[in-house]
Amino acid sequence: MPVRVRVQAEDFDVAAETSALTEGRPDIGAVVAFTGFCRDENGRLSALELEHYPGMAEAELLRLAAQAETRWALAGLTLIHRFGLIRPGEQIVLVLAASSHRRAAFEAAGFLMDYLKTRAPFWKREHLADGSVGAWIEAAGADDEAVRSWERP
Protein backbone atom coordinates (compact mmCIF):
# COMPACT_ATOMS: atom_id res chain seq x y z
CA MET A 1 0.00 0.00 0.00
CA PRO A 2 1.48 3.41 -0.94
CA VAL A 3 2.01 5.58 2.15
CA ARG A 4 3.03 9.21 1.85
CA VAL A 5 4.10 10.98 5.05
CA ARG A 6 5.34 14.57 5.09
CA VAL A 7 6.16 16.96 7.92
CA GLN A 8 6.63 20.43 6.49
CA ALA A 9 6.35 24.17 7.12
CA GLU A 10 4.65 24.80 3.76
CA ASP A 11 0.94 24.61 3.07
CA PHE A 12 -0.52 21.68 1.11
CA ASP A 13 -3.08 21.34 -1.70
CA VAL A 14 -5.79 18.79 -0.89
CA ALA A 15 -6.89 18.38 -4.52
CA ALA A 16 -3.31 17.83 -5.72
CA GLU A 17 -2.65 15.33 -2.93
CA THR A 18 -5.87 13.47 -3.76
CA SER A 19 -4.89 13.27 -7.44
CA ALA A 20 -1.43 12.00 -6.51
CA LEU A 21 -3.08 9.27 -4.43
CA THR A 22 -5.63 8.16 -7.02
CA GLU A 23 -3.79 8.64 -10.32
CA GLY A 24 -3.49 5.36 -12.21
CA ARG A 25 -5.42 3.52 -9.49
CA PRO A 26 -8.76 2.32 -10.91
CA ASP A 27 -9.07 -0.03 -7.90
CA ILE A 28 -9.75 2.93 -5.57
CA GLY A 29 -13.45 3.50 -4.93
CA ALA A 30 -13.29 5.91 -2.00
CA VAL A 31 -11.01 8.61 -0.61
CA VAL A 32 -11.85 10.19 2.74
CA ALA A 33 -10.06 13.47 3.43
CA PHE A 34 -9.73 15.12 6.82
CA THR A 35 -8.23 18.61 6.91
CA GLY A 36 -7.53 20.28 10.26
CA PHE A 37 -7.48 24.09 10.34
CA CYS A 38 -6.22 26.72 12.77
CA ARG A 39 -9.17 28.49 14.47
CA ASP A 40 -9.08 31.98 15.96
CA GLU A 41 -11.07 31.01 19.10
CA ASN A 42 -13.52 33.91 18.70
CA GLY A 43 -10.81 36.40 17.81
CA ARG A 44 -8.55 35.53 20.76
CA LEU A 45 -5.71 34.03 18.69
CA SER A 46 -3.44 35.53 16.03
CA ALA A 47 -1.71 32.19 15.31
CA LEU A 48 -0.78 28.76 16.57
CA GLU A 49 2.90 27.87 16.83
CA LEU A 50 3.56 24.19 16.17
CA GLU A 51 6.73 22.63 17.49
CA HIS A 52 7.70 19.11 16.43
CA TYR A 53 10.34 16.46 17.01
CA PRO A 54 12.11 16.10 13.65
CA GLY A 55 12.73 12.48 12.78
CA MET A 56 10.34 11.05 15.34
CA ALA A 57 7.35 12.92 13.88
CA GLU A 58 7.81 11.24 10.50
CA ALA A 59 8.59 7.87 12.12
CA GLU A 60 5.48 7.98 14.33
CA LEU A 61 3.20 8.92 11.42
CA LEU A 62 4.61 5.95 9.46
CA ARG A 63 3.97 3.66 12.45
CA LEU A 64 0.37 4.88 12.70
CA ALA A 65 -0.13 4.31 8.96
CA ALA A 66 1.22 0.76 9.35
CA GLN A 67 -1.21 0.15 12.24
CA ALA A 68 -4.14 1.37 10.12
CA GLU A 69 -3.06 -0.94 7.32
CA THR A 70 -3.32 -3.97 9.61
CA ARG A 71 -6.92 -3.05 10.58
CA TRP A 72 -8.48 -2.04 7.25
CA ALA A 73 -8.19 -3.00 3.58
CA LEU A 74 -6.62 0.25 2.36
CA ALA A 75 -5.40 1.25 -1.08
CA GLY A 76 -3.25 4.19 0.05
CA LEU A 77 -2.67 6.75 2.81
CA THR A 78 -1.35 10.29 2.82
CA LEU A 79 -0.48 12.04 6.11
CA ILE A 80 0.80 15.62 6.07
CA HIS A 81 1.42 17.70 9.20
CA ARG A 82 2.71 21.26 9.19
CA PHE A 83 4.93 22.98 11.76
CA GLY A 84 5.85 26.59 12.47
CA LEU A 85 3.53 29.58 12.80
CA ILE A 86 0.06 28.91 11.37
CA ARG A 87 -2.61 31.61 11.16
CA PRO A 88 -6.37 31.21 11.69
CA GLY A 89 -7.96 29.84 8.53
CA GLU A 90 -4.78 28.04 7.44
CA GLN A 91 -4.49 24.27 7.15
CA ILE A 92 -2.54 22.30 9.77
CA VAL A 93 -2.99 18.62 9.03
CA LEU A 94 -4.22 16.36 6.22
CA VAL A 95 -5.22 12.71 6.34
CA LEU A 96 -6.24 10.99 3.10
CA ALA A 97 -7.42 7.39 3.33
CA ALA A 98 -8.12 5.49 0.12
CA SER A 99 -9.90 2.17 -0.21
CA SER A 100 -12.11 0.18 -2.55
CA HIS A 101 -15.13 0.93 -0.36
CA ARG A 102 -16.10 3.87 1.81
CA ARG A 103 -16.34 2.23 5.23
CA ALA A 104 -12.66 1.30 5.48
CA ALA A 105 -11.66 4.78 4.28
CA PHE A 106 -13.95 6.57 6.79
CA GLU A 107 -12.83 4.43 9.70
CA ALA A 108 -9.11 4.57 8.88
CA ALA A 109 -9.19 8.36 8.57
CA GLY A 110 -10.90 8.67 11.98
CA PHE A 111 -8.49 6.21 13.59
CA LEU A 112 -5.46 8.04 12.17
CA MET A 113 -6.62 11.45 13.40
CA ASP A 114 -7.43 10.14 16.90
CA TYR A 115 -4.03 8.47 17.21
CA LEU A 116 -2.12 11.29 15.55
CA LYS A 117 -3.41 13.76 18.15
CA THR A 118 -2.14 11.71 21.09
CA ARG A 119 0.93 9.94 19.61
CA ALA A 120 2.57 12.17 16.99
CA PRO A 121 5.19 14.47 18.60
CA PHE A 122 3.73 17.92 17.89
CA TRP A 123 2.96 20.65 20.42
CA LYS A 124 0.83 23.76 19.95
CA ARG A 125 1.35 27.13 21.58
CA GLU A 126 -1.08 30.03 21.33
CA HIS A 127 -0.09 33.42 19.93
CA LEU A 128 -2.63 35.98 21.09
CA ALA A 129 -4.37 38.73 19.14
CA ASP A 130 -2.65 41.41 21.27
CA GLY A 131 0.75 40.23 19.95
CA SER A 132 1.84 38.34 23.07
CA VAL A 133 2.85 34.68 23.20
CA GLY A 134 0.32 32.66 25.14
CA ALA A 135 0.40 29.25 26.81
CA TRP A 136 1.16 25.79 25.51
CA ILE A 137 -2.12 24.05 24.78
CA GLU A 138 -2.92 21.26 27.22
CA ALA A 139 -3.73 17.80 25.95
CA ALA A 140 -7.47 17.09 25.92
CA GLY A 141 -8.73 14.11 27.90
CA ALA A 142 -11.32 13.56 25.17
CA ASP A 143 -8.47 12.71 22.76
CA ASP A 144 -7.21 9.94 25.07
CA GLU A 145 -10.76 8.63 25.37
CA ALA A 146 -11.08 8.57 21.56
CA VAL A 147 -7.95 6.39 21.34
CA ARG A 148 -9.28 4.03 24.02
CA SER A 149 -12.50 3.61 22.04
CA TRP A 150 -10.46 2.05 19.19
CA GLU A 151 -8.82 -0.39 21.59
CA ARG A 152 -12.05 -1.89 22.94
CA PRO A 153 -12.78 -5.37 21.56
Q: How many angstroms separate the first and last alpha carbons of the chain?
A: 26
Q: Is 84 in the site for another protein (CB under 8 A)?
A: no
Q: Is 93 in the site for another protein (CB under 8 A)?
A: yes
Q: Is 88 in the site for another protein (CB under 8 A)?
A: no
Q: Give the chain's radius of gyration (CA, Å).
A: 16
Of 13, 51, 90, 145, which lies in the binding site for another protein, with binding defined by CB under 8 A? 51
- Check: CB of residue 107 under 8 Å from CB of residue 72: yes
- Check: CB of residue 75 under 8 Å from CB of residue 65: no
Part in contact with another protein (CB under 8 A); list of ranges 17-25, 66-74, 100-108, 137-145: 137-145
Q: Is 21 in the site for another protein (CB under 8 A)?
A: no
Which helix (DSSP H) or strand (DSSP E) does residue 75 occupy? none
Of 64, 92, 96, 109, which lies in the binding site for another protein, with binding defined by CB under 8 A? 92
- Check: CB of residue 111 under 8 Å from CB of residue 99: no
Tell me which residue of 112, 119, 29, 120 sits closest to 78, measured CA to CA.
Answer: 112
Part in contact with another protein (CB under 8 A); list of ranges 15-23, 69-77, 98-106, 119-127: 119-127
Q: Residues in the site for another protein, rule: CB under 8 A?
A: 36, 50-53, 55-56, 59-60, 81, 92-93, 113, 116-125, 136-140
